[in-house]
Amino acid sequence: MSNPLLQSFDRAPFSKIKNEHFKPAFLQAIEDARAEIDAITENSDAPTFENTIEALEFSGQQLDRISSVFFNLNSAETNEEIQKIAQEVSPLLSEFSNDITLNQALFKRIKAVYEQKDALALTVEQDTLLDKKYKSFSRNGANLPDDKKKRLREIDTELSKLKLKFGENVLAETNAFEMHLTDEKDLDGLPEGEKEAAAQMAKSKNKEGWLVTLDYPSYIPFMKYAKNRELRKKLSMAFGSKGFYQNELDNQENVLKIANLRHERAVLLGYETHAHFVLEERMAETPEKVHEFLNELLEKAKPAAEREFKELEDFAKDLDGIDRLQKWDGSYYAEKLKQKLFDLDDEKLKPYFKLENVIDGVFKVAGELFGLRFNEVFDIDTYNEEVKTFRVTDEKGNFISLFYADFHPRSGKRGGAWMTSYKPQYVKNGENVRPHISNVCNFTRSTPSKPSLLTFNEVTTLFHEFGHGLHGMLANTTYPSLSGTSVYWDFVELPSQVMENWCYEKEALELFAKHYDTGETIPMELITKIKESSTFHEGMATLRQLSFGLLDMSWHGADPSGIKDVKSHETEAFKGTQLYPDTPETCMSTAFSHIFQGGYSSGYYSYKWAEVLDADAFAYFKEKGIFNKEIASKFKDNILSKGGTEKPMVLYKRFRGAEPKVEALLKRAGLL
């Protein structure tokens, strides 16, 4: 049987791939990559940058392509068979990765080049690549004795399985819960569009009435609008207790194992904790700096958050006699208070944010800033008929990137929103190979009577992920491992978060915020209200983000071996940021996929860190004009196209002329 994954392909051949192709493709590609490594180590010539560092950089490209196709499907279009294959191939990939970083002959050659780097007259990018390759070995055990190398392999294999299992459990818990309602009174308060979506969901499962699920487009509106407090509680408890049911999908044991194995791994490599290991390669550099940063913001945000919470409690008491505000009351009364203060709610805004118009809007903003053009094409193979594809070009018609967009929830798709890549950008043999980038989101579907209309929060999410997308699309580096979003983790959110700022600006909104029915442009009064309400409950929102960052550091910034109970550890970590009463039946850690499955361990602080960067960067745009070509060009040339070729602060200062100031964020958030 010919295997499409083992043919040379430019675009991912989704329709030709069957599940049974994956494992043989992985096995073959690993063997081929091994042969490429052998060719480097067996080369009788003295080690040079070209025959060792560059050769290693461009090895295993077929394996990388297969991995990107497979693991992206495991996130966006998975099933039991794919999950089973993931459990089988992840340890193989982990083992192969260890085989490279623990390969003495290979490390000897890399070290030889590294030790003569001052005499090599390398470009800035080559120097960064050499540094990165050397560290990827030294930071992953190349200097360890054999017994410790063996233990490192065991840890990495086990971690790869545990992280997958953690994510599978969260997805299974999300899919397993349904709140089936048959009395229309239970939907009191819900806007018509949300009711219709719940009815459509029930119908798709051959049920009467309405279905509410834990997917964001279903969960968030119910928590925000449903009058029935008991049902809000039921839904909130289900959402908050994913992986915390002491059943076969329970993640408590996985959390403890992951935290302890990460700590053991870091100590094995000579670091105090996992956070010390991770942060060595971040802008923040040390756990002390992260704590200092989080606590500085906490000091500024906490008084504001406590004032806001008191105001919300008083409001709920006056309105409905609620004596003690609970977690399942927050969104509901915040929405009511927001409507009272600003006469603004999502239902007033949604008609102006038809999904297709917002997509068109983000394309127009990218066009105004960076001269990009997006043409929808229909001859690109996709993994689901809902996926849209676009050919991206510059003003001269030069091909820049392929862009995939996948916007609605499905049972085989994990929650949330993310950007990913099917093919990186790099330069080889004189050819600038262009990237294939994808945005995946979970937005409300259209219904028989209405198109897909986004909440304002979903609009900012789309702009956010598209910012990551631009970082990938506009990449212009020589080496794939330094291209696009391959940057320090606390820098990667700058392009995404800065894009959200355009959603609040009149000039940008007028490009795309048009009523889906009448075509009328969003009225100025609504734009003013969006602006005015943008700092509503910013203290509470900041406190919430800081609590997640502190929880992450509590798992990874100290020895976790003394932690016996996940919930009580979490309660302790949340102590300084807690506003709502604790609910003993819920637990954040057991579904905190960012840090236990994704790449954010010891890095959740980076959302706030990048907010400082993005507030400071956007202040520059505001100063000169939000579509100022000169500033946009500086942002593109110094940030978006440069990837990880230089240290982030060097790139940022080249763009901005100075280091970022935390005051820009505090001012924007109304916390000064």
Q: What is the pLDDT of residues 547-567, one digit of tens each?
A: 999 999 999 999 999 999 999
pLDDT for position 671:
87
Pair of tokens at residue 3 = 């295997």
> Which CATH number is 4-143 given?
1.20.1050.40
pLDDT over 90 for what percent of the chain?
94
Does residue 90 contact residue 30 with C-beta atoms inside 8 Å?
no
416: buried, middle or exposed (CB in 10 Å: 19+, 13-18, 0-12)?
middle
Same fold: 4-143 with 351-534: no
Q: Is the pLDDT of residue 80 over 80?
A: yes
Where do the domains of the chain lie?
4-143, 177-240, 351-534
Confirm whether 292 is a catalytic residue: no
Q: Is the pLDDT of residue 282 over 90?
A: yes
Q: What is the pLDDT of residues 140-190, one digit of tens each?
A: 899 899 999 999 999 999 999 999 999 999 999 999 999 999 999 999 999
Helices (H), 4-79: 19-41, 55-57, 61-76
The span from the CA of 53 to the CA of 48, in Å, is 7
Q: What pLDDT band is residue 672 in, cutting at 50, 70 and 90? A: confident
Helices (H), 391-455: none
CA distance readout (Å), 51 to 62, 159, 401, 523 = 19, 33, 30, 62
Q: What is the pLDDT of residues 211-245, one digit of tens each?
A: 999 999 999 999 999 999 999 999 999 999 999 99
| Bridge partners of residue 181, in order along the sequence | 210
One-letter identity of residue 320: D
230: buried, middle or exposed (CB in 10 Å: 19+, 13-18, 0-12)?
exposed
Judged by DSSP in three states, 385 sits in coil
Question: Which is nearest to 426 in space by CA: 281, 633, 643?
Answer: 643
pLDDT for position 535:
93
Catalytic residue among 168, 465, 493, 538: 465
Q: What is the pLDDT of residues 295-310, one digit of tens each?
A: 999 999 999 999 999 9
The span from the CA of 442 to the CA of 338, in Å, is 25
Q: What pLDDT band is residue 1 in, cutting at 50, 70 and 90? A: low
The fold adopted by the segment(s) 351-534 is Neurolysin; domain 3 (1.10.1370)
